Amino acid sequence: MANKVQYGLKNVHYASVTVGTNSVTYGTPVAWPGAVSLSLSAEGDTNDFYADNIKYFTAIANNGYSGDFESAMIPDSFRTDIMGETLGTGAKSGIMYEAADVQPKAFALLFQFEGDANATRYALYNCKMARPDIESSTTEDSIEVQTVTGEITASPRAFDNIVKASCANTASTAYTNWFSTVQD
């Protein structure tokens, strides 16, 4: 039975990306706990061509997605693996450093949306995340949890133009292994 509705966000993982000439290699997916929301908008223009006094052809470009991912915190492993931050050693042990000249690395983003019949699992294969803002506020009468929001761009892979994959077939091996290895 196919889903009639979707809701919820869970099982968010990221995997590092190593780009070759005609291929991509993905690292082992790492759990990203504390997912709050994911909102991505389709990127790409629509161009109409007119002939014979009508709209004769419409071309739609798929440039991937961009938007926001909100979570409780950004895992330290993501900060070092993908954002390029470094963890101090020796006397500087425990200090996380962000250098101005480091570019974030590409990563795959894996996640699932719940459904009335079963969950649908997704993979975005070529993502980049901009540095999130730093913010919080004072505690007053009650504690209000502050979240972190990062701007994510998911682009097509250069060698095959694939942007995204999804799987809702719970009987498939791909579905079962979705969060243990990137299903390419």
pLDDT top residue among 159 and 10: 10
* Cα–Cα distance for residue pair 182/166, rounded to 1 Å: 11
Q: Would residue 111 count as lying in a domain?
A: yes
Sequence-distant (6+) residues with CB within 8 A of 2 are 117, 168
Per-residue pLDDT reduced to its tens digit, 57-82: 999 999 999 999 999 999 999 999 99
In a domain, 86, yes or no: yes
pLDDT per position as a tens digit, 76-107: 999 999 999 999 999 998 999 999 999 999 99
Q: Domain span at residue 68?
A: 6-176
Q: Kindly indicate the confidence band of residue 151, based on its pLDDT and cuts at 50, 70 and 90.
A: very high
Question: Which pLDDT score, from 0 to 100, does residue 124 have?
Answer: 97
- Is the distance from CB of 74 to CB of 152 less than 8 angstroms? no
pLDDT band, very low/low/confident/very high, at 20 (cuts 50, 70, 90): confident
pTM above 0.85, yes or no: yes
The amino acid at residue 128 is K
CA separation for the pair 173, 175 (Å, rounded): 5
Domain presence at residue 1: no
Residue 162 lies in a domain: yes
pLDDT band for position 136 (50/70/90)? confident
pLDDT at 21: 80
Q: CA-to-CA distance for 123 and 159, rounded, in angstroms?
A: 17
Q: What residues have CB less than 8 Å from 137, skipping those under 6 apart? A: 144, 146
The whole-angstrom distance between residue 150's C-alpha and the CA centroid of its chain comes to 10
Quick: pLDDT tens for 105-121: 999 999 999 999 999 99
| Residue 117 domain flag | yes
* Per-residue confidence (pLDDT) for residue 19, from 0 to 100: 86
Q: Per-residue pLDDT averaged across 142-155, rounded? A: 94
181 in a domain, yes or no? Answer: no
Residue 96 belongs to a domain: yes
Number of domains in the chain: 1
Place of tokens 């506020």: 137
* pLDDT in the model for residue 112: 97
pLDDT computed for residue 115 by the predictor:
92
